[in-house]
Structure 1
Amino acid sequence: MTIDRRVFLAAMGAAGAGALAQRAAFAQPKGEPIRIGGTLALTGPLAATALVHKLTGEIYLEDLNKRGGLLGRPVEWVLKDDQSKPDVARTLYEQLITSDKVDLLIGPYATGNILSAMGVAQRYGKMLVHHTFGIPKLAKYDRQFSSWSFGPTPEVSTPNLVIDALASTPHLPKTVAIVTSKFPSVHFVSVGAREVFKKRGIKEVLFLEWDFGNRDFGPIAGRIKEAKPDFLWVGALGLEGNQLIDAMKKIDYAPRNQFYHYPAPGPMLRAPEANNALSVTIFESHPPFTDNPIAAKFVKTFAERAAKANLPDTAVDTQAAASFSAWQIIEAAVTANKSLDDKKLADWLRANKVDTIQGKLRFNGPGNFGDDLSRVKQVQDGKWLVVWPTDWAAPGAKIRVS
Structure 2
Amino acid sequence: MNREMTRRSFGLLATAAVASFAGKKSLAQPASGEPIRIGFSTPLSGGLAGNGRSALLAQQVWGDDINARGGLLGRPVKLVYYDDQSNGASVPGIYTKLLDVDKVDLVISSYGTALIAPAMPVIVRHGMAFISLLGSGTNEMFKYGRAANISPVGRKMNEDFAKGFFEVAKALDPAPTTVAIAGLDSDFSNRAMESARTQAKLRGIKVVYDRAYPPSTVDFSPIVRAIQSATPDLVFFASYPPDSVGLLKAVRELKLTAKMLGGGMVGPQVTAIKAQLGAQLNNLVCWDVYAPEPTMDFAGTTAFLDRYRAVAEAKGAETLGLYAPPLAYAQMQVLEQAVTRAGSLDQAAIGAELHRDSFPTIIGELRFDETGEWVEERNVYVQYQGIVGNDLQQFKKPGVQVILYPPQYKSGVLRPGFPAA
Q: Same fold (TM over 0.5)?
A: yes
2:135 corresponding residue in structure 1? 133
Q: SS of the counterpart of 1:351?
A: coil
Deviations 1:184-209 (A, max 9, x none): 11221212321221121111110011
Equivalent-residue separation in structure 1 for 2:162 and 2:331 (angstroms): 25
- The range that moved more, 82-91 or 274-283, is 274-283
Of residues 112, 121, 124, the one that matches 2:123 is 121
Pairing of 1:171-320 with structure 2 (within 5 A): 171-261=174-264, 262-265=266-269, 266=271, 267-268=273-274, 270-292=277-299, 294-311=300-317, 313-320=318-325
CA distance in structure 1 between the partners assigned to 2:143 and 2:374 by the alignment: 11
* Aligned equivalents of 2:190, 2:71: Cα separation in 1: 39
- Structure 1 counterpart of 2:379, from 369, 374, 378: 374
- Taking the aligned partners of 1:268 and 1:178, their CA distance within structure 2 comes to 23
Aligned to 2:4: 6
Q: Any residues of structure 2 matched to 1:43-54 within 5 Å, and which?
A: 43-54=45-56
Distance change in 2, residues 1:54/1:171 (3 Å): farther
Inter-partner Cα distance in structure 1 for 2:79 and 2:215: 30
8 Å CA contact 2:131, 2:148 repeated in 1: yes
Instruction: Quote the Cα distance in structure 2 between the aligned partners of 1:58 and 1:104.
Output: 15
Match of 1:71 among 70, 73, 79: 73
Over 3 Å counting, the alpha-carbon distance change for 1:202 and 1:325 in structure 2 is: same
Q: Distance in 1 between matches of 2:134 and 2:178?
A: 30
Query: Is contact 1:181-1:236 (8 Å) kept?
Result: yes
| Secondary structure, aligned partner of 2:111 | coil
**Which runs of structure 2 are paired with 1:76-91 in the superposition (5 Å)?**
76-91=78-93
Determine the C-alpha separation between the residues in 2 that align with 1:365 and 1:399: 36
Q: Distance in 2 between matches of 1:251 and 1:368?
A: 40
Amino acid at match of 2:308: F
- Aligned sequence identity (%): 26
Q: CA 1:385 to 1:226, structure 2 compared with 1: closer, same or farther past 3 Å?
A: same
Matched letter for residue 280 of structure 2 = E
Structure 1 residue 398 corresponds to structure 2 residue 413: yes
**Deviation larger for 264-273 or 32-41:** 264-273
For residue 238 of structure 1, report the CA deviation from its aligned partner. 1.5
Unmatched tracts of structure 2, length 5 or more: 388-399
Task: Report Cα offsets for 1:28-84 as digits up to 9, x if no partner.
Answer: 211110000000111122212211211111111111111111011110000101111
Look up the match of 1:58: 60
- What SS does the aligned partner of 2:355 have? helix
* The 10-residue stretch of structure 1 (245-254 or 72-81) with the greater mean CA deviation from structure 2: 245-254
| Alpha-carbon distance between aligned partners in 1 of 2:292 and 2:183, rounded to the nearest angstrom | 28
Query: What secondary structure, in the 3-state scheme, does the structure 1 residue paired with 2:152 have?
Result: coil
Q: Secondary structure at the match of 1:373?
A: coil
**1:263 aligned counterpart, secondary structure:** coil
Q: Normalising to structure 1: TM-score of the pair?
A: 0.92
Paired residue type of 1:307: E
Contact 1:13 1:291 in 2 (8 A): no
Are the aligned partners of 1:94 and 1:120 in contact in 2 as well (CA < 8 Å)? yes
**Equivalent-residue separation in structure 2 for 1:227 and 1:202 (angstroms):** 14
Per-residue CA deviation, residues 167-190 of structure 1 (Å, 9 max, x unaligned), is: 245454211000000121122121
Task: Give the Cα separation in 2 of the matches to 1:199 and 1:56.
Answer: 39
Q: TM-score, normalised by structure 2?
A: 0.88
Paired positions, count: 396
Secondary structure in 2 matching 1:212: coil
Distance 1:32 1:119, change over 3 A: same
Report the Cα distance in structure 2 between the residues aligned to 1:142 and 1:301, rounded to whole angstroms: 34
Say what the alpha-carbon RMSD is for the aligned residues: 2.1
Q: Which residue of 1 aligns with 2:39?
A: 37
For each residue in 1:260-319, what CA deviation from the matched residue of structure 2 results, as whole angstroms up to 9, or x when unmatched? Answer: 422242314634332111122232233233351x211111122222233344x4223342
Report the more deviating stretch, 70-79 or 15-24: 15-24
Whole-Å Cα distance in 1 between the matches of residues 142 and 55 of structure 2? 21
User: 1:156 maps to what in 2?
Assistant: 159
| Residue range with higher mean Cα deviation, 117-126 or 295-304 | 295-304
Which moved further from structure 2: 200-209 or 294-303? 294-303
In structure 2, how many angstroms separate the alpha carbons of the residues matched to 1:147 and 1:306?
A: 22
- The match for 2:340 among 335, 339, 350 is 335
Deviation at 1:112, TM superposition (A): 2.3
CA contact (8 A) 1:127 1:343 kept: yes
Amino acid at match of 1:392: Y
Query: Structure 1 CA distance, aligned partners of 2:7 and 2:414?
Result: 23
Which SS does the other structure have where 2:82 is aligned? Answer: strand
How far apart, in 2, do the equivalents of 1:357 and 1:56 lie? 12
Change beyond 3 A, Cα 1:169–1:355: farther
Distance in 1, Cα, partners of 2:175 & 2:311? 41
Distance 1:274 1:39 in 2: 32
Counterpart-to-counterpart distance in 2, 1:268 and 1:254: 21
Asked if structure 2 preserves the Cα contact closer than 8 Å seen for 1:152 and 1:365, the reply is: no
- Against the structure 1 CA distance between its residues 213 and 57, is the aligned structure 2 distance closer, same or farther, given a 3 Å change threshold? farther
